[in-house]
């Protein structure tokens, strides 16, 4: 997926108009879940949760498994921003055990565990995914979204070897966004390439990808993800701790913190507050 914010807004408005004219539950549910995802991209988390519930309450997004997948995908995005992923552990674990070992949900479970204090399990899951250069991962309907989970887990575990492998596998997707279906948007691929490059120790490549990710988010009017990448970039510069980096890190943190105050994302607020200026 490549960014076109004006085109997305224009098409979504037209879809909403047509859906209201048709008055059919499937069409109304479809456009509501897209609207919920768009609100989430803009950092309007509570609104996104409310509209997402409206869409799912229509009960017309497919069969039982399709409904469960859509419900969990949307709730993951909301709970990720609300720092409440522990509430989804049972759902994600069930899907990981139900579907094949290298599926999106197996990757999601590793990421979730790494964020809720279960690092040993996260490492075990991630190591099983990393076997034979991540050959078990994809292709499936959620292959692109697996990058979000794999890169975040890899960076959190500071696995430099796996970071280099994942970086080489996803480099050809630079310039795109991590998105699929109508319910998942995890920002630009360049963000994950930056995290992986930084973890692998490739500093220049990481900086270039951070800069590219910020531009991509701005093009898509993805304000939440713009601020998140600014946080990531500032953290990278602070950890590198070179004199020439300090002013840029402070400026990035300041911009992200300013946006965080306008948004309804506890995660983004936590991310900006956790960056201590030098």
**DSSP code for 142:** T
Model confidence at 183, pLDDT cuts 50, 70, 90, reads confident
Quickly list DSSP for 172-220.
GGTTSEEEETTTEEEEEHHHHHHHHHHHHT-HHHHHHHHHHHHHHHHHT
| Domain extent listing, the chain | 5-273
pLDDT digits (tens, 9 = 90+) for 38-47: 889 999 999 9
Q: What is the pLDDT of residue 4?
A: 53
Q: 């897209």: which residue's tokens?
A: 34
**Mean pLDDT over residues 107-127, rounded?**
96
Question: Model's pTM, two decimal places?
Answer: 0.88
pLDDT band at 223 (very low <50, low <70, confident <90, very high): very high
* Residue 89 neighbours by CB distance under 10 Å: 14
Q: Which residues pair with 179 in a beta bridge?
A: 185
Top-confidence residue, 4 or 88: 88
Confidence band of 231 (pLDDT split at 50, 70, 90): very high
User: CATH homologous superfamily for 5-273?
Assistant: Tetratricopeptide repeat domain (1.25.40.10)
Q: What tens digit of pLDDT does each residue of 52-98 get? A: 888 777 655 445 456 677 888 889 999 999 999 999 999 999 999 98
Residue 266 vs residue 64, higher pLDDT: 266
> What's residue 16's pLDDT?
56
**What is the average per-residue pLDDT within 214-225?**
93
């Amino acid at each position: 997926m490549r960014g076109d914010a004006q085109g997305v807004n224009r098409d979504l408005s037209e879809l909403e108009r047509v859906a209201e004219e048709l008055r059919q539950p499937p069409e109304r549910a479809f456009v509501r879940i897209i609207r919920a995802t768009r609100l989430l991209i803009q950092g309007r988390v509570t609104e996104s949760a409310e509209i997402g519930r409206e869409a799912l309450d229509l009960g017309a997004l497919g069969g039982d498994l399709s409904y469960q997948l859509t419900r969990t995908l949307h709730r993951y995005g909301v709970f990720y921003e609300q720092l409440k992923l522990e509430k989804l552990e049972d759902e994600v674990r069930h899907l990981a055990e139900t579907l094949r070992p290298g599926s999106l949900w197996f990757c999601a479970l590793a990421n979730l565990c790494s964020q809720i204090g279960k690092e040993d399990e996260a490492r075990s899951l991630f190591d099983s995914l990393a076997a034979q250069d991540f050959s078990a991962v994809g292709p499936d309907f959620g292959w692109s979204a697996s990058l979000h989970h794999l890169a975040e887990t890899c960076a959190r575990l500071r696995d430099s070897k796996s970071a280099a492998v994942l970086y080489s596998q996803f480099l050809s997707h630079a310039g795109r966004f991590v998105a699929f279906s109508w319910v998942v948007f995890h920002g630009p691929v360049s963000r994950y390439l930056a995290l992986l490059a930084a973890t692998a120790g490739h500093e220049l490549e990481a900086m270039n990808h951070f800069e590219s990710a910020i531009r991509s988010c701005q093009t898509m009017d993805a304000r939440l993800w713009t601020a998140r990448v600014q946080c990531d970039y500032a953290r990278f510069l602070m950890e590198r701790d070179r004199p020439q980096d300090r002013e840029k890190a402070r400026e990035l943190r300041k911009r992200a913190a300013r946006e965080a105050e306008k948004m309804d994302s506890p995660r983004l607020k936590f991310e900006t507050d956790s960056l201590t200026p030098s």
